[in-house]
Amino acid sequence: MARISLRNIRHSYVEEPSGEEDWALKSMSVDWADGTACALLGPSGCGKTTLLNIISGLLMPTEGEVLFDDRDVTSIPPDARNIAQVFQFPVVYDTMSVYDNLAFPLRNRGVDKKTIDRRVREIANMLDLEAMLFTRAAGLTADGKQKISLGRGLVRADVNAILFDEPLTVIDPHLKWMLRSKLKELHQQFGATMIYVTHDQTEALTFAEQVIVMHEGAVVQIGTPIELFERPHHTFVGHFIGSPGMNLLPCELDGEHAEFAGHSIRTEHPVRLKTTPDTLQIGVRPEFVKFAESGIEVDVTKVTDIGRHAIVETRSGDNIIRLLLPEGQSAPAGRAHLQFDPKHTQVYADGWIVE
Ligand code: ADP
Ligand code: MG
Q: Is 46 in the pocket of ligand 1 (CB under 6 A)?
A: yes
What's the burial of 36, exposed, middle or buried (CB within 10 Å: 0-12/13-18/19+)?
Answer: buried
Q: Is 14 in the pocket of ligand 1 (CB under 6 A)?
A: no
pLDDT at 188: 87
- Give me the half-sphere count of Cα atoms (radius 13 Å) on the Cβ side of residue 167: 32
In 3D, which of 296, 336, 294 has the Cα closest to residue 312? 336
In 3D, which of 53, 83, 37 has the Cα closest to residue 204? 37
Three-state helix/strand/coil letters over 99-152: HHHHHHHHHCCCCCHHHHHHHHHHHHHHCCCHHHCCCEHHHCCHHHHHHHHHHH
Nearest CA to ligand 1 atom 14: 45
Amino acid at 137: A
Distance CA 226, CA 111 (A): 42
Nearest CA to ligand 1 atom 21: 13
Distance CA 87, CA 83 (A): 13
Q: What is the pLDDT of residues 158-198, one digit of tens each?
A: 898 999 999 998 888 888 888 888 888 888 888 889 999 99
CB 322 within 8 A of CB 245: no
Nearest CA to ligand 1 atom 27: 13
Nearest CA to ligand 1 atom 1: 45
pLDDT at 251: 97
Q: Is 44 in the pocket of ligand 1 (CB under 6 A)?
A: yes
pLDDT at 39: 96
Nearest CA to ligand 1 atom 23: 13
Distance CA 241, CA 228 (A): 8
Q: Is the CATH code 2.40.50.140 the one for domain 247-353? A: yes
Torsion angle (degrees, nearest 10) of CA 180, 181, 186, 188: 120
Q: Is 89 in the pocket of ligand 1 (CB under 6 A)?
A: no
- Positions of the chain with pLDDT under 70: 1
Q: Which numbered atom of ligand 1 lies nearest the CA of 46?
A: 3
Ligand nearest to the CA of 40: 1
Count helices and strands (H / E) in the chain. 9, 22
pLDDT at 169: 87
Distance CA 256, CA 47 (A): 37
pLDDT at 64: 98
Distance CA 162, CA 109 (A): 17
Q: Which numbered atom of ligand 1 lies nearest the CA of 217?
A: 10
The structural domains of the chain, with segments of one domain joined by +, span 4-235, 247-353
Ligand nearest to the CA of 24: 1
Q: Is 12 in the pocket of ligand 1 (CB under 6 A)?
A: no
Ligand 2 midpoint to CA 45 (Å) = 7
Three-state helix/strand/coil letters over 231-292: CCCEHHHHHHCCCCCCEEEECEEECCEEEECCEEECCCCCCCCCCCCCCEEEEECHHHEEEE
pLDDT at 328: 86
CB 194 within 8 A of CB 36: yes
pTM of the model: 0.92
Distance CA 286, CA 246 (A): 6
pLDDT at 117: 97
pLDDT at 97: 97
Q: Is the CATH code 3.40.50.300 the one for domain 4-235? A: yes
Name 11's Cβ contacts closer than 8 Å, sequence gap at least 6.
Answer: 23, 24, 25, 47, 50, 54, 59, 61, 62, 63
